[in-house]
Amino acid sequence: MSQAKRILCIWIPHLPVNRFGRTGLPVDDCLFAVTAEDKNAVRLVSVNKHARRAGLYAGMTLATARATAPQLITVAQEPMRDEMLLKALQRWCVKFSPWSTCEGKDSLLLNITGCAHLLGGEAAMADAILQGLKDMQIEARIGVADTKSAAKAAARFGAKGHTIFDTGRTRESLAPFPIDALFADEKSTFELKRLGLKRIGDLYPLKSTDLARRFGFGLLRAYEKLLGAASDPVAPATAQPTFAARMSFPDPIGLMDDVSEALRRLTEQVCKRLSNHDYGVRALRLSFYRADKHQIHLDIGLARPTQNANQIIGQYALKLDKVDSGDGIDMMRLSALKTEPFKPTQRTFAEAEKQNDLDELIATLGNQLGFDRVLRWEPVSSYVPRRSFRFVEAVQHKEKASWKANFSRPLAAFGNEPVTVLIPGRPPKSFRWRNKAYNTVRYKGPERIGPEWWKGPDSEDLRDYWRVEGDDGSRLWLSTRPGQKPISWEVAGLFP
């Protein structure tokens, strides 16, 4: 005989406030709220218990909240960090059930079928989860039922702590719950309340066909999922592997040799885990936890995903001398901040060595100056010279096989820099560019390049180009607009 399915829902109603409390902010000692911009106004998205007692609530505008409680302290919401905390809690829940997933922005769902007896029953499991979350400074409520929607309703609208529906008694248990427990769209919920249907039990005498005809199949589907008439399984989310390693020391360290050796061991552990999961790392953080409770963080980036420990150690070697060990370092931790699937490519030894040197140069410059300041050229499909390339961040650059050498075009292209004509001609017999005089010895042209027809007429793009060789051996690409009076000349590029 198959065992009845049982679903446990963990609702964390004040997740943003709890997360800030975990960082050390005194959120329990004052009126505190987390805000975010919504519907053209700054609103409260989460409030602590003191703010709730003062009449503040999520969804209230900040201006109204300030008028109600001038002493309110607020911070801006950090949705990505809230999401990361929820995913971390989902991984923590694996100790209670292998089938767990995140639900929305503030809930977790666990399929505890066949698991609860391991902890002494469903009530004991719920108490253990609540105690564990309390130890992590997180407020939560738990609901257990036969269906996912019913478990969510029990957590949100049941008693504080945990609410457990008996097996096979979902219909009776849900009858006194408010109509909001349907989790249908706001319009349907409003219409139900307007008609006087305020409890789930008020829907029981109604026929499904009447509900579908009056409110649509969306509400009927939510109603069937709530009672278990429609399938609504818990799809487990596979926890993403974490690539981190830490090392604690019996006595605080401070010598450079000790720090370097610890970094080497940590890097080898992280790279081994990356290799086992076929991932490469693009950014890492090395954290130092000193004996005086002070923390130091060093972040580095890499030009491309790597599993090479030497590349990581080489970049950190340039920064370790800036670390102040203070009274000594108790612990070091190395974690991957950004990872990507690793796809090794086959190269000759010379090509691999050249690419590694280039990657090391980009990473070194990026970590010193900022990766947004290290740029490379990238081709653009355009016949107009000034539109045939663009600058992109070197770490975002991707090799394109379609970019082939074109010896009729300059190696370095400029945005048509003006020149001063000393001796006129077509092209000029002598001119000055960048404070240097050039005398034309040989030239070839003109080559007329017109605008791109699909972008419409543009006289700026209709130009004549000449390849000009100066008496000092320099080769320039000069351009001018045909029919322009007075005529002006610009340097469009420089040949090697």
How many C-beta atoms surround the C-beta of residue 261 within 10 A?
Answer: 13
What is the Cα–Cα distance from 379 to 396, expressed in whole angstroms?
13
**Can you read off the two tokens belonging to residue 405?**
């050498």
Beta-bridge partner residues of 7: 111, 145
Assess contact for 171 and 205: CB atoms under 8 A: no
Taking CA atoms, 327 is separated from 256, 266, 330, 334, in Å, by 14, 22, 9, 21
| Prior bond of 385 cis (ω within 30°) | no
Contact partners, residue 53, CB within 8 Å, separation at least 6: none
Contact partners, residue 375, CB within 8 Å, separation at least 6: 391, 392, 393, 394
Tell me the pTM. 0.58
Write out the chain's pLDDT in tens, 496 residues. Answer: 456 789 999 999 999 999 999 988 888 889 999 999 987 889 999 999 999 999 999 989 999 999 999 999 999 999 989 998 998 999 899 889 888 889 888 999 999 988 888 889 999 999 999 999 999 999 999 999 999 999 999 999 988 889 999 998 889 999 999 999 888 888 888 888 888 888 999 899 988 888 888 888 888 888 888 888 888 787 777 656 788 999 999 999 988 899 999 999 999 999 999 999 999 999 999 999 999 888 999 999 888 888 989 989 988 988 888 888 888 999 999 999 989 888 777 666 666 666 777 777 877 888 877 777 777 767 776 666 666 667 777 777 666 555 554 556 776 667 678 899 999 999 999 999 999 999 999 999 888 887 766 666 555 568 889 999 999 999 999 989 887 888 899 998 888 7
Please name the fold of domain 1-240: Alpha-Beta Plaits (3.30.70)
Assess contact for 90 and 236: CB atoms under 8 A: no
Assess contact for 71 and 31: CB atoms under 8 A: yes
- DSSP-derived secondary structure for 286-342: EEEEETTS-EEEEEEEEEEEE--HHHHHHHHHTTGGG---TT-EEEEEEEEEEEEE-
3-state secondary structure of 231: coil
AA letter at 123: A
Determine phi and psi for 114, rounding to 5 degrees.
80, 5
Determine phi and psi for 49, rounding to 5 degrees.
-65, -35
Largest interatomic CA distance in the chain: 101
**pLDDT of res. 386:** 63
**pLDDT of res. 150:** 92
CATH code 3.30.1490.100 for 244-341? yes
**Can you read off the two tokens belonging to residue 393?**
């961040």
Determine phi and psi for 133, rounding to 5 degrees.
-70, -35
Contact partners, residue 485, CB within 8 Å, separation at least 6: none
Assess contact for 214 and 220: CB atoms under 8 A: no
Assess contact for 152 and 142: CB atoms under 8 A: no
AA letter at 343: K
Can you give the residue ranges of every domain in the chain? 1-240, 244-341, 376-496
**pLDDT of res. 1:** 42
What is the Cα–Cα distance from 399 to 207, expressed in whole angstroms?
63
Secondary structure (H, E, C), 156-209: HHCCCCEEECCCCCHHHHHCCCEHHHHCCCHHHHHHHHHCCCCEHHHHCCCCHH
**pLDDT of res. 28:** 86
**pLDDT of res. 36:** 92
**pLDDT of res. 48:** 92
Contact partners, residue 1, CB within 8 Å, separation at least 6: none
